[in-house]
């Protein structure tokens, strides 16, 4: 069984629980056909989805459309929110109790696969290592072929994320996640309850990007990363508590811009000044050219 309520809460998606055994949402499958209201629903007893307008759809397809992720990524999300996984994690939970987190992997050395990958992405390797304390996940083990990205709060590592050096297509072929985050139970703070870059964002305004690479390209000051394609309700509340203005700089494609608008509306409802900034370059922020990066920094006064 899937904990649909928790999944929807974590991803800031509106729902209703007015009908027994149904979690009702605005159907993401037929929205382009003009569906309105909470016509779609997850059945809690049968673990399936049905829409009063367009009929039944697989829950993988619905989650894919709802979160603007691939079908493969949707399957991984559903695994994470299955009650079997939740119960198993609770039984095996390891409470951190304030212990220091040790990063896996080794230092990034010249001509290693991690080094060459970042070099190909046109990053200043030594600057990344010195500024963001990233590491090489190595060639074997759970974090192999990943760039290890520590998440700091008050100069202390509270969790970390590993970004695969393989392409999106290769990750799918190998059945691995492109972004892998330390288990919640092993983290001092759940990565989706905070942001990547809080220690460098002391002003009353910030620019919000999606991935760590986006932050590296434009940061570090005043740049926060959501550490993924979605923002949790906890992250939205944290933004509202700390900042007066949030400028969204998400990827250029429509699903990302739709997410920015949705989160922006939520923040505006909490009294935060919001700006959706989209320079409409062909690249995602993490792949901006040197000229594009300079232009964006000038426009945003970074």
* Cβ(6)–Cβ(190) below 8 Å: no
Quick one: 186 and 240 in the same domain? Answer: no
Quick one: 9 and 86 in the same domain? Answer: yes
Is the model more confident about 130 or about 269?
Answer: 130
pLDDT-based confidence at residue 36 (cuts at 50, 70, 90): low
> Average of pLDDT values for 130-140?
95
pLDDT at 84: 56
Quick one: 139 and 156 in the same domain? Answer: yes
pLDDT at 14: 84
pLDDT at 195: 96
> Average of pLDDT values for 183-206?
92
Q: Kindly report, residue by residue over 61-118, the tens digit of the pLDDT.
A: 999 888 888 888 888 888 878 765 544 444 444 444 447 899 999 999 999 999 999 9
> What is the 8-class DSSP label of residue 71?
H
Which phi and psi (to 5°) does residue 186 adopt?
-95, -5
> What is the 8-class DSSP label of residue 18?
-
- Whether 275 is covered by a domain: the verdict is yes
Q: Cα angle vertex 72, ends 68, 78, to 5°?
A: 80
And the tokens for 300?
């945003």
pLDDT at 80: 79
Quick one: 87 and 20 in the same domain? Answer: yes
Is the model more confident about 177 or about 222?
Answer: 222
pLDDT at 87: 44
- Whether 283 is covered by a domain: the verdict is yes
CATH of the domain at 75: 3.90.580.10
Give the end of a domain, one of 91, 126, 153: 91
Domain residues for the domain of 120 are 113-193
What is the pTM (predicted TM-score) of this model? 0.69
Q: How far apart are CA 288 and CA 285, in angstroms?
A: 5
Q: How far apart are CA 68 and CA 65, in angstroms?
A: 5
User: Average pLDDT over the chain, rounded to whole?
Assistant: 87
Q: Which helix (H) or strand (E) holds 278?
A: none
Quick one: 296 and 213 in the same domain? Answer: yes
Quick one: 210 and 293 in the same domain? Answer: yes
Report the range out of 98-107, 133-142, 251-260 with the highest average pLDDT. 133-142
Q: How far apart are CA 24 and CA 75, in angstroms?
A: 20
Q: How far apart are CA 65 and CA 31, in angstroms?
A: 10
Distances in Å between the Cα of 153 and the Cα atoms of 56, 62, 93, 107, 150 are 44, 35, 22, 22, 10
Quick one: 259 and 217 in the same domain? Answer: yes
Quick one: 213 and 287 in the same domain? Answer: yes
pLDDT at 22 over 80: yes
Give the end of a domain, one of 153, 169, 193: 193
Structural domain total, the chain: 3
């Amino acid at each position: 069984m899937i904990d649909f309520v928790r999944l929807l809460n974590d991803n800031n998606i509106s729902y209703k629980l007015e009908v027994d055994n149904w979690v009702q949402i605005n159907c993401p499958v037929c929205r382009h056909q003009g569906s309105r209201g909470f016509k779609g629903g997850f059945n809690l007893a049968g673990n399936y989805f049905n829409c009063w307008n367009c009929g039944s759809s697989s829950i993988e397809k619905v989650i894919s459309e709802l979160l603007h992720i691939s079908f493969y990524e949707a399957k991984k999300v559903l695994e994470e929110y299955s009650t079997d996984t939740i119960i198993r994690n609770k039984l095996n939970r390891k409470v951190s109790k304030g212990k220091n987190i040790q990063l896996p992997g080794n230092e990034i050395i010249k001509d290693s696969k991690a080094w060459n990958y970042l070099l190909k992405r046109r990053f200043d390797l030594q600057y990344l290592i010195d500024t963001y304390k990233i590491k090489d996940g190595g060639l074997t083990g759970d974090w192999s072929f990943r760039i290890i990205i520590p998440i700091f709060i008050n100069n202390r590592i509270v969790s970390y994320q590993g970004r695969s050096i393989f392409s999106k297509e290769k990750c799918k072929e190998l059945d691995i996640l492109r972004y892998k985050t330390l288990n919640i139970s092993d983290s001092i703070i759940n990565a989706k309850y905070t942001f990547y870059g809080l220690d460098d964002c002391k002003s009353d305004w910030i620019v919000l990007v999606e991935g760590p690479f986006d932050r590296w390209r434009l940061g570090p000051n005043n740049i926060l990363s959501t550490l993924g394609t979605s923002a949790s309700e906890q992250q939205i509340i944290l933004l509202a508590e700390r900042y007066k203005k949030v400028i969204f700089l998400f990827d250029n494609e429509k699903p990302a811009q739709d997410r920015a608008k949705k989160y922006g509306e939520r923040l505006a409802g909490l009294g935060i000044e919001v700006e959706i900034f989209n320079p409409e370059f062909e690249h995602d922020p993490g792949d901006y050219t040197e000229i594009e990066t300079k232009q964006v920094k000038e426009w945003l006064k970074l």
